[in-house]
Chains A and B, each alone.
Chain A
Amino acid sequence: MNRLRMSRLRTWFLAPAWAITLVLFLAPLGIVLVYSALTRGAYGGFSEPWTLESYTRLMDSLYLVILLRSFWIAAASTVGCLLLGFPLALFIARSGRRKNLYLSLVILPFWTSFLVRTYAWMFLLRDTGLINATLQKLGLIHDPLPLLYNDGAVIIGLVYSYLPFMVLPLYATLERLDKSLLEAAADLGARPWQAMWRVVVPLCAPGIRAGSVLVFIPCLGAYLTPDLLGGGKSVMVGNLIQNQFTSARDWPFGSALSLVLMGIVMALLFGLLRRDSEGGLL
């Protein structure tokens, strides 16, 4: 009896999401799939004949190098977010009545435009920016340090941009954490960091996974940050894709690139989830 009602209700619960996904995600993706199998038109766009040439073009060390670079930058940014975000989420979860305020303070900077946030870092990191000016005034350095337009600047910018994506899911799980578990661990003689590592971290693994995925993916596809903070000196796969759709006007190749990128990320995620007995994020 219950089973029956449950499944009917479930259908209705899933229906809106199904409709949105079908019309606004799967259908457009199908169109991209079709594009990827067409040929670039003489002046952009696409035309027949049907071909897999866009995919065979990808078998190239040039694109592999770009892909690996993107992975490294996205991974470094994710680790950065985790190191910064985990203690912060823990702090918020434990701050009692003030936690809503503290949570809001995390989100607040992210209501300004993404571009403004990136510009803020350009402001700080440039030769005549605050950091260099302060160091020079203190007499620690003579010539300004080249802080802007390198991978480090890109990673800082990405960490800064995506930190709430890490903090929010971490907070959601940490907030539910039973404090008595920590007390029990302490009673059993665990040092605070031991309790943290052995008890808290495993218990909020779903939050860590969710946060990491939410940060890693957009970092992997980022293209504005590498352009602005990296000075366009190195390409990430996002820049490569964006170039195909804009200056190169090669939609089929851009589509193929996008689909391959999505495929690789999916494969990675499934690899990650297979080890996860709970069945993963979703």
Chain B
Amino acid sequence: MLRYVSYFKGLSETDLAAVNNHVFEKKAARGDIIVFESEPSDAIYYVNEGVVKAYKTSADGKEQILRIIRPGDTFNDVPILGGVNLATAEAMSPVVLYGIKKKDVEAMTHDYPQIAKNIIRVLSQRVEEMVDLIEDFSFRRVNGRVAKILLENAGNGGKPRLTQQEMAAMIGTAREMVGRSFKSLEAEGAIRLEHSRIVIANRAVLLKIAGLSE
């Protein structure tokens, strides 16, 4: 199992066996919180079975998913050398996780320099993901462009149905940003989300958000 974990790529069978002594198994049911945001960070985890979501929660209870972690991926790895959990991790299904305590990870980086290199690679990837998200939040007026797509593709039966991924691709943003825009446009009264339908409730407001005129 360990050879598939990004942290341990390139290690010999002997080294992997030594590392394996520090691995513990953790099971969780759907909805269980595995790590809480802002609590002292204790371990990194590898998802062996199931799906975990990592998210931040705003003061008014809004949830922003940062990552979906599928089998083969690790999480809670940014504060790997100490600090607090940056996000809450919740099981979306029954999950089987393998964890390693942070103190053991620290010891391993001394004993196996390859692990330190692998950690740097993983953390670099996380930084890239976060920078992409920050770019979306900071510079892209996603609401306006989502509003424009909704207006262009609205039609009672005559237009193709669109997924959030397709809309994201159309405007060059992340799928998560489209979902966030839906919530924002709904809060402004421009649309209503009704199951698999997006209802344009106030076309004038939506036009204004899109920066368009009649």
Q: Do A and B come from one complex?
A: no
Q: Which residues of B contact A (CB under 8 A)?
A: none
